[in-house]
Structure 1
Amino acid sequence: MADQSVFGEPITQEVLMTIPEYANKVRMDRSVVSTQWIDKDGKEDDVTEYVRSLKEEWGTGVSTLCRVYNGTGERLTFHLSHDWLGHIYKTYPPVIENGQWGGFLHVKPTGAAEGSEAAVVYRGKNKNGEDADWMLCWDNPWNRIPYDNKAYAEINRAGYFDNIDWKTIEDSMEGGGRQHTAKWEGCVAEVQTESDTSPIYEAKLYLSTQDT
């Protein structure tokens, strides 16, 4: 039986999360803390060790050791992937929670002297709590004498990359360099890759603390 001497519905955390202004602030707070704790408890070393173990398990050849940090304040879920050259070894992480690193290995085509070139799209939220897709791309060519590795990213509304012209994305990536920063609706993706035949490709995803 309810206490007859108190009045009104209790304002709990669950209630506050239904208010967009509060929910967005909480999301930003989670993003800020997660970016500050990017290597808490040695998790950055752990994901690096994991992708290197995948490489050792897979064997010799061109491959890309990928690590993705979720500092967006919300869960990221795998949405789609696209291969220009090669394929994923095992699987992409289906979910990367806020404050977690995700690791995976992308490898050259079996039995071919070719590179590792692909894109993966994860779905999360933008600064306003709307669904957003984060596309992360890498180009790791087999013949690195005339070319070097490339890193690229784009962010857009949910579903934007479902029917994208992948040749246009590839051209944009190949016109860039080993580092790239993408921004959209308060979302930021910083990507970079080493210059090596089996480099570490790193993506850090977070929300901007700026108003724009």
Structure 2
Amino acid sequence: MGLNVFGTPITVDTVKEMPEYHESKMIYSADCATVALEMKNAEGHPLTLVDTHSWEGRICETPYPMVILNGQWGAFLHGQYHNGAASEACVVYNGLNFDWVLSFTNSNSNTNTKTNRVYTNIRTPQHNGVDWDAIKSNLDNGKTTHTGVTAGVRMFASIGDISKCTVEAILTISDALDNVDIQ
């Protein structure tokens, strides 16, 4: 397991050990995802790195995690070049049935022409590549928060509005949110 992946994986065995599931005959992905969401991360299945793209900046000392198990957080560091004004990139992970696309711009500029933005997209796995231009166009029109929703899954992303901030994303199945109050 990579050094930049942390948290206890939430598996069927993990859920079976929880008192509220002792009487359950079957444990489903939604059960695993619900438990993981309460721990701030849930997709129900492992995520595998599929592709990355940097429009500006570079991946730094902490690379993209290759695999993120259900219930874990994955972390990476993408930064600007020495004289650069921004870190702008996209990462694509594959889960059970979907590709999860997270793109972000983190501007270090003191001008008001560029602000921090995120854009998410959940799609069926693509075998003919990623349309980086379309993602970039959507990112250029993005905001500091974005929620992607499709076919019973959701991806929440946010970025701070200061230079050198953190991007956070949560990937989950909608069934996991049935017992969670989202304001």
TM-score, length-scaled by structure 1: 0.66
The letter for the 1-side match of 2:165 is P
Going by fraction, where is helix more abundant, 1 or 2?
Answer: 1
Question: What's the counterpart of residue 188 of structure 1?
Answer: 154
Structure 1 counterpart SS, 2:70: coil
- What are the superposed Cα offsets for residues 125-161 of structure 1, whole Å, 9 maximum, x if unpaired? 2xxxxx210000101123242221001100101126x
Q: State whether structure 2 residue 123 is matched by structure 1 residue 156.
A: yes
The letter for the 2-side match of 1:154 is N
Question: What's the counterpart of residue 37 of structure 1?
Answer: 39
- What are the superposed Cα offsets for residues 10-34 of structure 1, whole Å, 9 maximum, x if unpaired? xxx9xxxxxxxx98x6111101111
Q: Percent identity?
A: 31
The letter for the 2-side match of 1:74 is H
Question: What's the counterpart of residue 99 of structure 1?
Answer: 71
Structure 2 residues not aligned, in runs of 5+ = 1-11, 13-24, 179-183
Question: What's the counterpart of residue 171 of structure 2?
Answer: 205
Output the CA distance in 2 between the equivalents of 1:73 and 1:198.
Answer: 31
Q: How many angstroms does 1:87 deviate by?
A: 1.2
TM-score, length-scaled by structure 2: 0.76
- What are the superposed Cα offsets for residues 56-98 of structure 1, whole Å, 9 maximum, x if unpaired? xxxxxxxxxxxxx4x0110011111011001111311111110
Over 3 Å off, 4+ runs: none
Structure 1 residues not aligned, in runs of 5+ = 1-12, 14-21, 39-68, 126-130
The letter for the 1-side match of 2:38 is Q
Output the CA distance in 1 between the equivalents of 2:151 and 2:111.
Answer: 38
The letter for the 2-side match of 1:79 is V
Structure 1 counterpart SS, 2:53: strand
Question: What's the counterpart of residue 28 of structure 1?
Answer: 30
Please, what is the CA RMSD of the aligned residues? 2.2
Output the CA distance in 2 between the equivalents of 1:195 and 1:37.
Answer: 25
Q: State whether structure 2 residue 78 is matched by structure 1 residue 76.
A: no
Question: What's the counterpart of residue 62 of structure 1?
Answer: none
Match of 2:104 among 138, 145, 160: 138
What is the number of residues matched between the two proteins? Answer: 152
